């Protein structure tokens, strides 16, 4: 029996694992990141097989390592041509497809052994490399495990109901070996040895089994309900720990003192409102009220404002800035790039008008000064900017990372606004906050629609406000799907571009790759929450006839240069391999109309505004995620002229890819598209590498499926932290979340 530091299997280490499964077993488990009996018990089955329910053999993919459940159909054996080897050919079936297995044996008794184990009619699991042999799928020398024959009828019935766990496995360690090892770890485990992480009242309220019971149910279920209940329990545990960590951090910040900034009724904010050239939408009004209430409070605001490009976040943020200025404070706006910082400064100055020119002749007495501070502001301008921030003369300081430098000081920093916050780390956000005399209120802005379950998981410690509507007066975008490789369609697309350019507009032509030899997509990922395109098969036949691979920027650029319909129109070229200067120049030439057609990858910066752009053609659109296409499409139809978006795809009209793309033609709601994307994406792509991580990180919790569970866990976690802020009465929880928030995981929690 395993003897470990605290005398239990549960608390054991590698020694205990070696005691259980031997040195060789422990080595093999290491490849699965299993280092202790506890890791082994937390290695959950990925799915379950059922007797009589066979794996669909037709779905096997060549090159994969697969584990299947099937029935032996036929057996034959013969000698190889050179007579040195015996070959055993077994065919297995799922009742529909038949797949051959080939075994090689040196000695006749091995042939007999295999034939005895795999008699026709036997059900067994097989695990091995799927290969193509003469056009047919085949498993070469797979591992196999016949399902044990029942002794009597009763036993047979019980066995038949029992799901067979299938573990994430390796070539050297098939799933049934892992099952055996898990059994060894499970047998000696006593409920009294394991401290349940979930508080008893939570377990009761949510009807969750205890740890040890759940471990038995997940590894050795008597029926499907068992493992389902156990999975729910462990997923809940993950959600609960994560939410407790987030709730604790939220409580820590809330416990800090902030200066209340209630504003006044006759200051800068009132003056701004009086001169706005439009009326606020209901959404803007509501979100503004939430923020105003937060700012008036004595604990620091922690709020995320999400709304698509053009939803009017800037004016909402500006109103918050004005409120704190009216209360004697200053606001800082941090943007990820110089281009975006400059754009913010421009639109804020534009909205404020004379109110942005305090201290100058035409300036309004209630006004303030708007200062831009980026890396390219140098010399006397920089000294002036620093002086204005430090004296308080400047109520609004806008900048990039340059704002974080130690030299930048504020008289009284009351509010920090962070644009596209996922591009900044915590240290950076904290560095800005540290410049306040008391802890500043913090507002995050994001243009990426985030489904609620993801927001709760990744941003669980902040309040979320959402702007759903786009202000009226926008002409909107119509989206079409076009089949690749059909000359007639492509001709119409190029003619449309020519027509729009003649009317003074601009067009983007987007391709998924730069060159045909580049292995990767552009790689530049301004759309951070987007993973790569879905798992669908790529479209065949790009828009360039005779071209098998995906459309490339270079080919498209060359081809459009020769396109008769576009004669006389200058083309621009933009992609991630250009230098920063070249990119800026390409963007500027496009914006000015010098090159009214821009052939590009997805590198076009989020938020970059060319109001004259009315056409967006996306080649091989099936290679992009819906959110990504939505972001791309958001760059047209921003002026007064309506936009047209054409998604070109070579995928078959009935394929899942095309069904997916059709959604683009039916809605312009980024949240609907983000949810759709989420539903189609594999979990790991959503939360990134952190999700596939080790130890106690998220293994079972799915932000796709477990939305309700996450919501419940959040309620329970917040209640727990309210009752026991420092978790002194819940030491197991404290230990578990400390493990969760170790440096590796901090990054995950802080992607918020």
Q: Which positions touch ligand ADP (CB under 6 A)?
A: 278, 280-281, 284, 307, 309-315, 347, 447, 471, 473
Own/partner long-range contacts of 207-213 (Cβ < 8 Å, ≥24 apart): 208/232, 208/233, 208/236, 209/233
Q: Rounded to the nearest 5°, which phi and psi values hold at 212?
A: -70, -45
Quick one: what does residue 280 bind among Mg ion, ligand ADP, none, with the CB cut-off 5 to 8 Å set by partner type?
ligand ADP
356/493 with CB nearer ligand ADP: 356
| Cβ closest to ligand ADP, residue 640 vs residue 735 | 640
Which phi and psi (to 5°) does residue 414 adopt? -110, -25
**Among ligand ADP, Mg ion, none, what does residue 745 contact (CB within 5–8 Å per kind)?**
none
- The residue assigned the tokens 């243009």 is 447
According to DSSP, the residues that pair with 509 across neighbouring strands are: 599, 617
Give the shortest CB-311-to-ligand ADP separation in angstroms.
4
Q: Which of 337, 425, 451 is nearest to 752 (CA)?
A: 425
Closer residue to ligand ADP, CB minimum distance, 312 or 550: 312
732: helix, strand or coil: helix
The nearer residue to ligand ADP, 311 or 394, going by C-beta atoms, is 311
- The least distance separating ligand ADP from the CB of residue 276, rounded to whole angstroms, comes to 8
Q: Cα angle vertex 152, ends 222, 148, to 5°?
A: 60
Q: List the single partner that 466 binds among Mg ion, ligand ADP, none, CB under 5 to 8 Å by kind.
A: none
DSSP H/E element including 333? strand 330-334
Write down the least CB distance from residue 704 to ligand ADP, Å: 27
Cβ 354 to ligand ADP shortest distance, Å:
17
| 175 vs 314, beta carbon nearer Mg ion | 314
Q: Given the complex with Mg ion, which of 200 and 473 has the nearer CB atom? A: 473
CB of 403 to ligand ADP, least distance (A): 19
The residues, ordered by sequence, that sit 6+ positions from 375 with a Cβ below 8 Å of its Cβ are 338, 400, 401, 402
Return the number of other C-beta atoms located less than 10 Å from residue 344's C-beta.
25
Given Mg ion, ligand ADP, none, residue 347, with its beta carbon under 5 to 8 Å by kind, binds ligand ADP
Residue 341 or 498: the one with the smaller Cβ distance to ligand ADP is 341
User: Which phi and psi (to 5°) does residue 569 adopt?
Assistant: -100, 130
Provide the minimum distance between the beta carbon of 301 and ligand ADP in the complex, in angstroms, as a whole number: 19
For 96, the 3-state DSSP assignment is: coil
By a kind-dependent CB cut-off of 5 to 8 A, residue 133 interacts, out of ligand ADP, Mg ion, none, with: none
In angstroms, the CA 465 to CA 474 distance is: 23
Instruction: Kindly identify the residues of this chain, within the stretch 619-678, that bind Mg ion according to CB under 5 A.
Output: none
| Residue 549 touches which of ligand ADP, Mg ion, none (Cβ within 5-8 Å per kind) | none
Any bridge partners for residue 76, and if so which?
A: 89
What's the min distance (Å) between Cβ of 340 and ligand ADP? 10
Give dist(CA 328, CA 515) in Å, integer: 55
- Shortest distance (Å) from residue 343 CB to ligand ADP: 9
Kindly identify the residues of this chain, within the stretch 105-164, that bind Mg ion according to CB under 5 A: none
Using the minimum distance from each CB to ligand ADP, give the nearer residue, 311 or 400. 311
Nearer to ligand ADP, 45 or 307 (CB): 307
The answer to whether the CB of 600 falls within 8 A of the CB of 510 is yes
Which of 227, 125, 223 lies closest to 176, judged by CA? 125
Contact pattern from residue 297 through residue 326 relative to Mg ion, giving x for each residue in contact according to CB under 5 A and a dash for the rest: -----------------x------------
Q: How far is the CB of 372 from ligand ADP (least distance, A)?
A: 17
CB of 645 vs ligand ADP, minimal distance in Å: 18
C-beta of residue 556 within 8 angstroms of C-beta of residue 544: yes
Closer to ligand ADP by Cβ: residue 181 or 417 = 417
Question: Which residue shows structure tokens 């197991």?
Answer: 732
Task: Give me the residues paired with residue 128 across strands.
Answer: 66
CA 470 distance to own-chain centroid: 25
Q: What are the residues facing 173 on neighbouring strands?
A: 170
Selection from Mg ion, ligand ADP, none that 284 binds (CB < 5 to 8 A by kind) is ligand ADP
Instruction: Check: CB of residue 140 under 8 Å from CB of residue 65.
Output: no
**Residue closest to Mg ion when measured from CB atoms:** 314
Binding residues (CB under 5 A) for Mg ion: these are: 314
């Amino acid at each position: 029996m395993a003897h470990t530091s605290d005398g239990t299997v549960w608390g054991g280490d590698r020694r205990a694992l070696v005691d259980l499964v031997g040195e060789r077993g422990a080595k093999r488990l290491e490849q699965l990141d299993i280092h202790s009996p506890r890791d082994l018990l937390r290695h959950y089955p990925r799915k379950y097989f059922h007797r009589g329910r066979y794996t669909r053999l037709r779905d096997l993919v060549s090159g994969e390592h697969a584990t299947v459940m099937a029935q032996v159909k036929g057996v034959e054996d013969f000698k190889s041509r050179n007579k040195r080897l015996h070959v055993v050919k077994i065919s297995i079936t799922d009742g529909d497809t038949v797949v051959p297995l080939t075994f090689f044996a040196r000695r006749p008794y091995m042939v007999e052994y295999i034939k005895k184990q795999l008699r026709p009619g036997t059900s067994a699991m097989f695990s091995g490399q799927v290969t193509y042999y003469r056009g047919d799928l085949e498993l070469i020398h797979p591992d196999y495990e016949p399902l044990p024959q029942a002794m009597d009828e009763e036993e047979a019935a019980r066995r038949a109901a029992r799901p067979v766990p299938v573990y994430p496995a390796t070539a050297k360690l098939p799933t049934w070996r892992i099952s055996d090892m898990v059994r060894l770890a499970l047998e000696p485990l006593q409920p009294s040895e394991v401290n349940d992480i979930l508080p008893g009242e939570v377990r009761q309220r949510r009807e969750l089994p205890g740890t040890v019971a759940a471990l038995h149910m997940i590894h050795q279920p008597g029926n499907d309900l068992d493992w389902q209940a156990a999975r729910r329990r462990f997923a809940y545990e993950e959600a609960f720990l994560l939410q407790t960590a987030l709730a604790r951090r939220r409580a820590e910040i809330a416990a800090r003192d902030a200066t209340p900034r209630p504003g006044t009724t006759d200051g800068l904010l009132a003056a701004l409102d009086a001169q706005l050239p439009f009326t606020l939408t209901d959404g803007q009004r509501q979100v503004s009220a939430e923020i105003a209430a937060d700012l008036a409070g004595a604990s620091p605001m922690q709020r995320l404002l999400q709304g698509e490009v053009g939803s009017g976040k800037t004016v909402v943020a500006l109103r918050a800035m004005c409120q704190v200025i009216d209360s004697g404070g200053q606001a800082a706006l941090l943007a990820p790039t110089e281009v975006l910082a400059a754009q913010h400064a421009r639109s804020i100055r534009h909205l404020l008008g004379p109110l942005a020119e305090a201290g100058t002749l035409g300036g309004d007495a209630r006004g303030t000064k708007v200062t831009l501070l980026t890396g390219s502001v140098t010399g006397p301008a920089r000294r002036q900017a620093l002086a204005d921030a430090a004296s308080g003369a400047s109520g609004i300081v806008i900048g990039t990372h340059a704002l974080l430098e130690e030299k930048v000081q504020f008289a009284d920093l009351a509010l920090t606004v962070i644009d596209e916050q996922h591009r900044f780390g915590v240290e950076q956000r904290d560095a800005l906050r540290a410049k306040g005399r008391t802890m500043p209120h913090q507002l995050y802005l994001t243009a990426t629609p985030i489904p609620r379950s993801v927001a709760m998981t990744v941003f669980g410690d902040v309040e979320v406000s959402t702007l759903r509507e786009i202000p009226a007066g926008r002409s909107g975008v119509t989206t079409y799907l076009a089949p690749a490789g059909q000359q007639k369609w492509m001709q119409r697309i190029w003619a449309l571009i020519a027509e729009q350019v003649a009317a003074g507009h601009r067009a983007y032509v987007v391709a998924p790759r730069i060159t045909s030899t580049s292995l990767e997509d552009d790689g530049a990922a301004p759309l951070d929450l987007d993973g790569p395109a879905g798992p669908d098969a790529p479209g065949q036949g790009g828009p360039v006839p005779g071209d098998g691979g995906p459309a490339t920027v270079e080919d498209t650029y060359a081809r459009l240069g020769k396109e008769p319909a576009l004669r006389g129109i200058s083309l621009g070229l933009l992609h991630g391999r250009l230098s920063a200067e070249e990119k800026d120049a390409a963007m500027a030439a496009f914006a000015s109309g010098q090159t009214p057609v821009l052939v590009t990858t997805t590198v076009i910066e989020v938020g970059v505004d060319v109001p004259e752009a009315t056409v967006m053609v996306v080649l091989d659109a099936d290679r992009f995620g819906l959110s990504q296409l939505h972001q791309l499409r958001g760059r047209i139809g921003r002026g007064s002229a309506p936009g047209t978006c054409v998604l070109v795809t070579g995928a078959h009209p009935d394929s899942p890819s095309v069904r997916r793309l059709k959604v683009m033609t039916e809605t312009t709601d980024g949240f609907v598209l983000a949810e759709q994307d989420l539903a189609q994406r594999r979990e790991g792509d959503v939360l990134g590498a952190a999700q596939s991580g080790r130890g106690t990180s998220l293994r079972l919790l799915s932000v796709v499926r477990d939305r309700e569970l996450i919501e419940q866990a959040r309620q329970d976690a917040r209640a727990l932290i309210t009752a026991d802020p420092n978790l002194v009465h819940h030491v197991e929880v404290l230990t578990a979340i400390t493990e969760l928030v170790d440096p590796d995981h901090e990054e995950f929690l802080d992607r918020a």
